[in-house]
Structure 1
C-alpha cells in the first residue's frame, strides 16, 4: 500500500490513474509528456555525463548504477534510464499506472522494479534519483524533497523538473494547453507551481547543493527545447551539499 504521510494527494492520484490506459499513446491524453520526455532525457543524460565524467558517446553511461524514478507514471522515463544501463526502481502512488508500466516494460523486454508506493514508504538509496513534473502535485513539497534526498546515495545525483509559477506558464500550460485538450483539464494548479528562487532554498534545507538549472521553453519552430529561459518550466540538478 502507498504511504500517505506527506506526498500523496488522493484527488491527484485518481486523476492520473484514470489516464493509465492510453499513457503510452503518443496521440493520447499524455501526448504532451511524449513531447516533453526527450527534452528531459537529454538533460538527464547531460547531467549524468558531467556528474560521473562519463563518455558522452557511451550507450550505457549508467551501467552498474542504481536509479529511482519517483512519480514514474507508466514508465516514460524509467524505460530509457534502464536502456542507459541503470538498475531502475520506479514508483508511483497510482496503482493503474504501475500496472500499465509493468505491462509495457515486459513487452519491451526490460527488467524494471516497478512499485505502487510513495517515496516516504521506500527504503534504500540510489545513485540517481529523478522526479519529473511531480513536486507541484504533492501535499508538502519540502517534506517530499526531503524524502527524495533520503533516498539519494552519497555521491549521487538528483534531477527534477517542474513548471515555474509565472503568467506565461499559466497562459500556455493551463489556459491554452488544458483549454484545447493538449493536457488533460484539471492537471495543474498554478498556485502550487514553484519558482526556481523558491526551489533553491528548499534544496538547501534538504541538504542539497544545486549544480545546474535549465529551462524548458516552447517555440513554434523548435517545439519544446532546453533553454536559458526558465519562465515556462525548468529542470534542476543537485547533489549532497
Structure 2
C-alpha cells in the first residue's frame, strides 16, 4: 500500500485497513466480516485506521487542486461542489470535504459503517459544522448501482478512495461512478497496484510478519494495475488524466507523492460525455 521510508533506504509494505467496503451490487462475505469487526474503530486515530487518517492531507490536496480556481470563495475551495464519497466507511474523508465547502454524500454497503459515520458527524462536537457552508455530510446505506439509478449525472466529483480492491466487481463500480458524474466532472480513486512487491511485502511481510495489517484483509488478485483501471475508465467515458504514486513515511507519520506506483497510487479522470447506461 505504501512506500515505507527510512533513512537511505525504501521498502514497500502493504496498506492498512481501508476506509471502504462499498461495492457495486454485493460484497464478498470475507470483506463483510473483516470490516464489520472494525466498525467501532473508524475514529481511533492511533488504531487500525491511523494510516488512513494520515492519508487525508494528500487526498484533500489532490481534490482541492481540481477546483481551486473555480471556487467563488477561496477560503472554501470546494464551495458548493457536490461530491460522492463511495465506500465512505466511518466518514474519515467525507467530513473534511464538507468543512471545505462541499455538499458531500457518503455511501457504503455496510450499515454499521454508516451508523459510525452519522454518530461521529452529528453527535461528536456538532458545533463544528456551524462554519461549514452546507453543513455536515449526508450518509446513505446503499450500493453504487442504487446510487447510479437515483443520482444520474448529479455530482461534480466522485471519490473512491481505498475501495476498488475490496469490491466484488470494481469494473461495475467504475461504471456506476461514471453514471453519477456530470460531464466534465472528476473521478478520483486511490488503490493498490498488483505487483510482485505488493504481494511479498504488502501481504506476506505486512500481514504475516510485521502484522501491521489484519491478517486476510487483502487479496493480491483483487489489486488493480493502473493500466487496467485506465482501460475500464475509458470504456465508461472517463478520460484518464493523472496517475500518481503515494508513499508513507513512518518516521514523520505522513503521506507524500512519489514517482513509484509499485504499491499505492492515486488515479484521476474526467468524464468526457454523457453516461452510456
Q: TM-score, normalised by structure 1?
A: 0.89
**Counterpart residue number, 2:95:** 79
Question: For the residues of structure 1 that align with 2:24 and 2:227, how far apart are their CA atoms?
Answer: 26
Give the SS at the match of 2:207. Answer: coil
Q: TM-score, normalised by structure 2?
A: 0.78
1:82–1:112 CA contact under 8 A, matched in 2: yes
Are residues 1:91 and 2:107 paired? yes
The alpha carbon displacement at 1:5 in A equals 6.3
- Check 1:47–1:82 CA distance in 2 against 1; reply closer, same or farther (3 A cut): same
- Check 1:41–1:177 CA distance in 2 against 1; reply closer, same or farther (3 A cut): farther
Once the two structures are overlaid, the 10-residue window that deviates more, 98-107 or 210-219, is: 210-219
**Counterpart residue number, 1:153:** 182
Question: For the residues of structure 2 that align with 1:237 and 1:158, how far apart are their CA atoms?
Answer: 6
Structure 2: gaps spanning 5 or more residues: 1-21, 130-135, 273-277
1:130–1:160 CA contact under 8 A, matched in 2: yes
Structure with higher Rg: it is 2
Give the SS at the match of 1:177. Answer: helix
- Check 1:92–1:161 CA distance in 2 against 1; reply closer, same or farther (3 A cut): same
Give the SS at the match of 2:40. Answer: helix
Structure 1: gaps spanning 5 or more residues: none
- Check 1:210–1:4 CA distance in 2 against 1; reply closer, same or farther (3 A cut): closer
Question: For the residues of structure 1 that align with 2:23 and 2:229, how far apart are their CA atoms?
Answer: 23
Superposed CA RMSD in Å reads 2.2
Which of residues 247, 250, 273 in structure 2 aligns to 1:217? 247
1:32–1:182 CA contact under 8 A, matched in 2: no
- Check 1:77–1:5 CA distance in 2 against 1; reply closer, same or farther (3 A cut): closer
2:239–2:271 CA contact under 8 A, matched in 1: yes
Are residues 1:59 and 2:75 paired? yes
Are residues 1:167 and 2:196 paired? yes
Once the two structures are overlaid, the 10-residue window that deviates more, 66-75 or 11-20, is: 11-20
**Counterpart residue number, 2:144:** 119
Question: For the residues of structure 2 that align with 1:32 and 1:79, how far apart are their CA atoms?
Answer: 17
- Check 1:4–1:88 CA distance in 2 against 1; reply closer, same or farther (3 A cut): closer
Are residues 1:234 and 2:265 paired? yes
Deviations 1:69-110 (A, max 9, x none): 000010110001101101110011111111010011112434
Q: Equivalent residues in 2 for 1:196-207 (5 A)?
A: 196-207=226-237
**Counterpart residue number, 1:23:** 42
Report the number of matched residues.
236
Structure showing greater relative contact order (alpha-carbon pairs closer than 8 Å, 6 or more residues apart): 2
